[in-house]
Structures are given as C-alpha cells and as structure tokens.
Structure 1
C-alpha cells in the first residue's frame, strides 16, 4: 500500500486518518480523501494533513487502497460512478451491511483462490469488509475483519497492522460478523447508558455531575483493562471485590434482582431478531 484514499470524511474516517498518520505507517501526504462537502473537507485536510480531492474519480485514481467510509445508503450510487475505475485496487469497506458478498453483487470482485466461485482476473477489485466501533476515536477501537475477502495475503497483513494502531483487530467468520457487530458496534451505547445511570446515582447522593462522570468512566475503563491484562474470568474479578456481608455483594444482589444480566442478553436478542 503506497497511497490511501477515503471516500467520506466523517468522524470515523477522521479518527482512522489521524491514527494512521500518527502511527508513521503511512504519511499524511500519501492519503487522499473526497467528500461532497468540500468546505468541511478542506478544513479537515488542514487539520489532519491529508490531500483533499474534488471528485470521486480523482480520489480513486490517486489511491491504490480505498476506504469506503461514507453512509451505507450512498454506496450503490458511488459504485455506479467509479466501479470501472476500481480495477486492480483494494477496497476496504467500513460501511455497515456492505460485506464481501454484497460488493460482489455490484462490482467485479476478485474471488479468493479457495472460494466456491470461479477465480477471476487479478485486475479486478480486491475487497475486505471491516466493522469498526466508535472508541477507535481514542485509539481503543475494535475492528472486526470478515474472513471472506480477496486481498493479497501480504496486503491484508499490512492493512490489519494499520488498523491495529487504533485498537484491537479480530477476524470473524462471515456468519459471526452480525453478532460481533452487535456486541462491539452497538455495545458502546449500552456502556454509555451504564455510565449515565451510575453517574446519576452518584449525583443523587451529592457528587457533582462532572466528577461523577469522571469517576464512573475511569472505574469502567480500569475494570476493563484489568480483565484484558490478566485474562481473569469476570466472575472471579467480581468475587475479589465482594467481601462476605459487605457493601458490594449487596449491590450485586440488587442488580441480580433487577435482572441486569438478562437485560444485557435481551438487548442483543433485540438486535439479532429484528
């Protein structure tokens, strides 16, 4: 990968672009971007350092790897304009719902050699679907790489390393991308509800709102880092805090009575069964 092009420059694209350049794995001068709002695009270009483009065809022509970072509903129209210009390029899609097979319905994708489909010419577009989440904006993201893809092996390794600069990279089988996205993509909103609720409780008993958010957020961050660093089962970590007849076990009991764990599972059920 010598040059990288973004189609769309919203919050997620800005986070990726900033993280990629900060990693030194690619220079800002080798990153191009196009977005319909040219004024905002130019403002972001000055802030981040990428090179703004005036058209879709310009960004595609100047980039060997394209990141489709626009709204999902915009992609079909975009592809109708540029699909003939994508030959020989890698296309990384971070748009929800636009996985490998969906792109295959719209562009002449290069099929991996071990697929059930006829292997096509190497000059066709190579596709990889990646599902990000919003904590990528603070270098704590989760990036789910769909197993089905048609990137070259060394190319995929390079792209995984690039995304790893902004968080954790995991590969999932195609049939698990949905549940993976439900947990990691929707999960931040559920955690935010949790943060807000405990901050409200802190405010109820006298802690100022700003301090309450700081205390609760740091507690969640610290607890998550402790689990990741040690690999300890969450139940064991919970037990370590629960003294016999103590305050914590009383709080845990109240949460169980209110069905916290069941509510968490039901929130995922609601997404998966929509």
Structure 2
C-alpha cells in the first residue's frame, strides 16, 4: 500500500470527512481519483464529491468494495448500524474510525475476528493540512499498515498517539479547541473594530497571530508560559492585558469549557 495507489473510501461525508479529503487535496498528498464516498443524501453527496473530483457511491458496500482504507465518518451512535451491512467485507482492508468515544474494544465486539481497525479522530484544520489526529494506541493494524497510516496522516497534520483512557481528553483539546480558539479570535476582532480596524483586517491579524503562535510553540518546543513572558515587558502594554485576562478568569473559563465538554463522555 502506497500513497500513490491507495484508495480511500468514506462512509459518511459530513464536516469531518470533507475536512480530511480537503486536507489530502490541499497538500496534494492524494489525488481526487483516489478518494470516494457514500452518504445518506446521495444528491448532496454527488455535489460535494464532484466539486472535488472524487468518486461517489450509491451505498456503503460499493464504497468498501472499492476502497483500501475505509473511513467510518459517521456519528458515534450510528457506528453499529452502519457497520452491520459491510462488516463481512472488511478483511484485507484498514478500517479507520473518526467516531469520537467509540474505542478499540467497542469495535472488537462489533466486528468479525481479524479485522484491522484503528481510531484516529481529526480536528477541522486538517482541511488545510494543519489538523491534529488523536490516535488510540490500541489498534489491530500490522506494523507496516500502522507505519503507512501514520505517514499518510502526518501529511495533513500532527499525529498524537494516546492511551485509550486519554483519547477523550486529547480529542476535547484538539477537536473542541478550534471552536474555543475561534471565539477568542472573534473577540480580538471585535476589539480591533472598536479601535478602528475593519472587520477583515482584525480577523486576519487574529488568525495570523494564532497560527504563528502555535507554530512557534511546536517548532521550538516552547512552554506557553515562557512565550507569554517573552512578550510582557516590565510596565508594558501586554502585561496590562494579561492582568485583565487573569482578573476576568480566562484560565478558569477555559478549564471549565473543557470540563463541560468532557461531561458529554460521562453521560
């Protein structure tokens, strides 16, 4: 299996499926003819796949028959029902689940013995090759399959392998984080507009700042506290802003947001 020849079939082609496909296309990691999908709304599916030059399939069995890697991109509560008609066709293929909260042991109960499967949940920035894939360490891929799989994903993002018990918190930070970060960017944009910037200028500055800060932290392995300190001159403007954020409870608000999101897994 190589990136030049592999065929990726999506069962379900909503936001997550489209983000993954767009990332492969954006980074030119895969060609459009190497990807295909099926979904409940076939007319909508055709519009989304044809716009990308991908294949569209009438049902999941056609998708699985064609694909080498089957991406299960459906809501967690749908997994069992969606697998039922295709589980006898998965031998010799890689089943990749992006369904949050459905782990290795769950799939072992739903699948016939010997099926090679892995859970790797993406974040939406995968669409521009900057995603985070929370991969459950426990999987049933061979060594070669796992190496290929991680190499393929690394073309469009950061691959973070975590123990099963930590998948949910890792996915909350990387998967819910874009929404939290977007709210912060929007707030910065509002402040910029208040002081005379156009909305587009303010959002461009906020987005560029977030992208650059993240790359600096990853690229240099910097501690976020040190990066904050580096910008805070004694008696300067930034430390005044930091003090205001501390007074407003930014840290506790973010931690509270993560706790609220994690509560969904505990219901």
2:256 is aligned to: 266
Q: 1:211 aligns with which of 194, 201, 205?
A: 201
Shift of 1:137: 1.4
5+ residue gaps in structure 2? none
- Whether contact under 8 Å (1:109, 1:127) holds in the other structure is no
Once the two structures are TM-superposed, the CA of residue 185 in structure 1 deviates from its matched residue by: 0.9
Which structure 2 residues correspond to residues 208-247 of structure 1 after superposition, within 5 A?
A: 208-247=198-237
Q: CA deviation at 1:41?
A: 2.2
TM-score (norm. length: structure 1): 0.88
Deviation per CA, 1:74-115: give whole Å up to 9, x if none.
2222112222222332210011122211112211243xxxxx
1:167 aligns with 2:157: yes
Task: After TM superposition, list the pairs within 5 Å mapping 1:188-207 onto structure 2.
Answer: 188-207=178-197
Q: List alignment gaps of at least 5 residues for structure 1.
A: 111-124
Equivalent position SS for 2:222 = coil
Cα deviations across residues 203-245 of structure 1 (Å, max 9, x unaligned)?
2222222211111111222222222222222222212211111
Instruction: Please state if 1:94 is matched with 2:101.
Output: no
SS in 1 for 2:9: strand
Greater gyration radius:
1
Q: 1:199 to 1:8 in 2, by over 3 A?
A: same
The alignment's C-alpha RMSD in Å is 1.8
* Alignment match, 1:185: 175
Displacement, 1:195? Answer: 0.9
* Cα distance per residue 1:162-220 (max 9 Å; x no partner): 11111111111111101101111111111111111121112222222221111111122
The alpha-carbon deviation at position 21 of structure 1 amounts to: 4.6
Are residues 1:57 and 2:61 paired?
Answer: yes
Residues 21, 127 of structure 2: 8 Å contact kept: no
Partners of 2:254 and 2:83 in 1: how far apart?
A: 38
CA separation of 1:204/1:13 partners in 2, compared to 1, >3 Å: closer, same or farther?
Answer: same
Corresponding residue number in structure 1 for 2:246: 256
Which residue of the partner structure matches residue 14 of structure 1?
A: 18
Whole-angstrom distance in 2 between the partners of 1:188 and 1:24: 24
Q: Which moved more, 1:136-145 or 1:221-230?
A: 221-230
| Aligned mates of 1:231, 1:69 — CA distance in 2 | 32
Q: TM-score, normalised by structure 2?
A: 0.90
The 1:256/1:269 distance shift into structure 2, 3 A limit, reads same
Structure 2: distance between partners of 1:244 and 1:95 = 47
Distance 1:157 1:54 in 2: 31
The Cα offsets for residues 132-169 of structure 1, whole Å up to 9 and x where unpaired, read as 11111121110011001001111111111111111111
* Cα gap change, 1:140 to 1:84, in 2 (>3 Å): same
Query: Number of aligned pairs?
Result: 260
Q: Which residue of 1 aligns with 2:130?
A: 140
| Structure 2: distance between partners of 1:81 and 1:152 | 25
CA contact (8 A) 1:136 1:167 kept: yes
1:249-271 CA-partner distances (Å, limit 9, x unpaired): 11111111112112222222223
Q: Are the aligned partners of 1:109 and 1:126 in contact in 2 as well (CA < 8 Å)?
A: no
Once the two structures are overlaid, the 10-residue window that deviates more, 63-72 or 183-192, is: 63-72
CA contact (8 A) 2:27 2:129 kept: no
Task: Using the TM superposition, give the Cα deviation of residue 22 of structure 1 relative to its aligned residue in structure 2, in angstroms.
Answer: 5.3
